[in-house]
């Protein structure tokens, strides 16, 4: 079976040959193949101007990224067996790296399946589709997941707003089997309960696994502030590693209730404060509170490139508020999951924040996302998480 071709303009094949998987709509030779000939999600063969095969994948005429490559093998179109092979390849990495079955099993483009993300909570899988092409393959995806992992349940968390760019509806729904309301995640030997349908993103932030592991040597005996705490992952890990006290700040009552529940599950006690982070930090400062370790792990402030200036400023203000709460010789863990904010700019925001409050900073560790979120070197968008471990000293102003 050969698929209808999507033909590129002259020289527009270079990026794809260098490893990228996306075709932008202005790269298509629409005089020869009008994009309007396709429906969102149609399977296509992507060919260069001379007709050379580049890959098979899927198209969405309504999206700026109008096509994505799945397979680069002309004789191996993306069918169910193909999905099984890609899933097995993704699983092989995680099974080698993680002693327990809690991780991002599949990370879109980086694992060769653009538009699909799958998280694993033991026998329960949470999957998220972000493109019309993958939406068409839903049944095959579920069948492939069942073949490879034999889960008891699969949930679609197809409720992220970027789906709207592809003209897809937002919904969360059972894809397969039976789903509990909550699942347990194990991380560094500790247990956390997360809500499947109502939680943030797919329920748990696996990308911070290694960074939370890095806490261990910094926290014994220390007082810790976990800002944007969600269900308490950082705070509870800190306490489990010997922190003296930990306070969670988040604007979500449901998240904080789960954080308290999770603390109990691990035999520790946390404090919680429901507040907008900026307001909450100001209030803590006004009360004269001090912490030895402050963790800032906010949602992305720069969701689109045009938000960069405003986002950069928000990171600077947030880091400044965090630093004001640090005792004389403290540790700031400053994260950003905004792809559009380069690491150096976050570091510059930290340095600038330090000068504003007359503190000195030393960068101790710089890190990114855990290995279950591998980066595709040709697709910079796949590398998004920054985590800086910064010593902050000098008397606070
Ligand atoms: N640190 C968490 C992940 C954070 S997710 C972890 O490691 O698991 C982002 C969290 O920020 C969510 O729980 C959300 O409720 C919270 N949030 C978003 N905007 C906020 C704001 N302005 N003030 C306080 N919390 C906020």
Which residue shows structure tokens 């982070």?
277
Q: Could you tell me which of 82, 7, 78 has the C-alpha nearest to residue 43?
A: 78
Quick one: 65 exposed, middle or buried, by C-beta within 10 A (0-12, 13-18, 19+)? middle
Residue 198 is predicted with a pLDDT of 74
Residue 375 is predicted with a pLDDT of 98
Closest atom of ligand 1 to 276 CA is: 23
- In angstroms, the CA 276 to CA 260 distance is 18
- CB of 233 within 6 A of ligand 1: the answer is yes
Residue 304 is predicted with a pLDDT of 87
What residue ranges do the domains of the chain occupy?
Answer: 5-71, 80-180, 188-393
CATH of domain 188-393: 3.40.50.150
DSSP-derived letter for residue 300 is P
Helix axes 233-240, 253-265, angle to 10 degrees: 20
**What distance in angstroms lies between residue 225's CA and the mean position of ligand 1's atoms?**
13
Terminal CA-CA length for the chain: 70
**What distance in angstroms lies between residue 255's CA and the mean position of ligand 1's atoms?**
9
CATH superfamily of 5-71: PUA domain (2.30.130.10)
Helix axes 80-97, 138-149, angle to 10 degrees: 40
Tokens matching residue 267 = 């035999």
Class of the CATH domain delimited by 80-180: alpha beta
Instruction: List, run by run, the mean pLDDT of 10-residue segments along the chain (397 residues).
Output: 92 97 97 96 97 97 96 93 98 98 98 98 97 98 98 96 94 96 96 86 91 98 98 98 98 96 98 98 98 97 90 96 96 96 97 96 98 97 97 83
- In angstroms, the CA 330 to CA 242 distance is 16
Active-site pick, 66, 248, 335, 337: 337
- CB of 252 within 6 A of ligand 1: the answer is yes
Determine the residue of 104, 299, 367 to mutate for testing ligand 1's pocket, defined as the one with the most ligand atoms within 8 A of the Cβ atom.
299
pTM of the model: 0.96
Q: Which residues touch 380 (CB under 8 Å, ≥6 apart)?
A: 339
CA atoms 313, 316, 319, 324: torsion sign: negative
Q: Is 337 a catalytic residue?
A: yes
- CB of 253 within 6 A of ligand 1: the answer is no
- CB of 202 within 6 A of ligand 1: the answer is no
Determine the residue of 204, 214, 230, 274 to mutate for testing ligand 1's pocket, defined as the one with the most ligand atoms within 8 A of the Cβ atom.
230
- CB of 200 within 6 A of ligand 1: the answer is yes
Closest atom of ligand 1 to 295 CA is: 1
- CB of 301 within 6 A of ligand 1: the answer is no
């Amino acid at each position: 079976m050969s698929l209808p071709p999507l033909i590129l303009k002259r020289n527009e094949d270079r990026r794809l040959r260098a490893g990228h998987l996306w075709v932008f709509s202005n790269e298509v030779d629409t005089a020869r193949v009008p994009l309007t000939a396709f429906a969102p999600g149609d399977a296509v063969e992507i060919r260069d101007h001379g007709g050379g095969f580049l890959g098979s994948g899927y198209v969405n005429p309504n999206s700026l990224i109008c096509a994505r490559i799945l397979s680069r093998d002309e004789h191996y179109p993306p069918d169910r067996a193909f999905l099984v092979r890609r899933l097995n390849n993704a699983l092989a990495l995680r099974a080698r790296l993680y002693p327990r079955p809690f991780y991002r099993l599949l990370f879109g483009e980086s694992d060769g399946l653009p538009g699909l993300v799958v998280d694993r909570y033991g026998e329960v899988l949470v999957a998220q589709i972000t493109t019309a092409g993958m939406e068409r393959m839903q049944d095959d995806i579920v069948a492939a997941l069942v073949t490879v992992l034999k889960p008891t349940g699969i949930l679609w968390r197809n409720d992220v707003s970027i789906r709207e760019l592809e003209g897809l509806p937002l919904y969360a729904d059972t894809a397969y089997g039976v789903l509990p309301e909550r699942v347990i995640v194990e991380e560094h030997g500790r247990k956390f309960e997360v809500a499947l349908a109502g939680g943030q993103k797919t329920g748990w932030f696996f990308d911070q696994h290694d960074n939370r592991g890095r806490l261990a040597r910094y926290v014994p005996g220390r007082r810790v502030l976990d800002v944007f705490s969600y269900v308490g992952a950082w705070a509870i890990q800190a306490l489990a590693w010997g922190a003296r006290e930990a306070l969670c700040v988040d604007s979500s009552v449901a998240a904080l209730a789960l954080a308290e529940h999770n603390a109990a599950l691990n035999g520790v006690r946390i404090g919680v404060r429901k507040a907008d982070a900026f307001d909450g930090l100001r209030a803590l400062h006004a009360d004269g509170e001090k912490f030895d370790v402050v963790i800032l792990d906010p949602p992305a402030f720069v969701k689109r490139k045009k938000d960069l200036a405003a986002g950069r400023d928000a990171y600077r203000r947030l880091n400044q508020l965090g630093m004001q709460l640090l005792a004389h010789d403290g540790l700031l863990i400053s994260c950003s999951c905004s792809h559009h904010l380069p690491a150096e700019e976050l570091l510059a925001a930290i340095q600038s924040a330090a000068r504003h409050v007359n503190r000195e900073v030393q960068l101790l560790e710089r890190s990114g996302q855990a290995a279950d979120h591998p980066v595709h070197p040709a697709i910079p968008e796949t590398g998004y998480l920054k985590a800086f471990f910064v010593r902050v000293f000098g008397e606070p102003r």
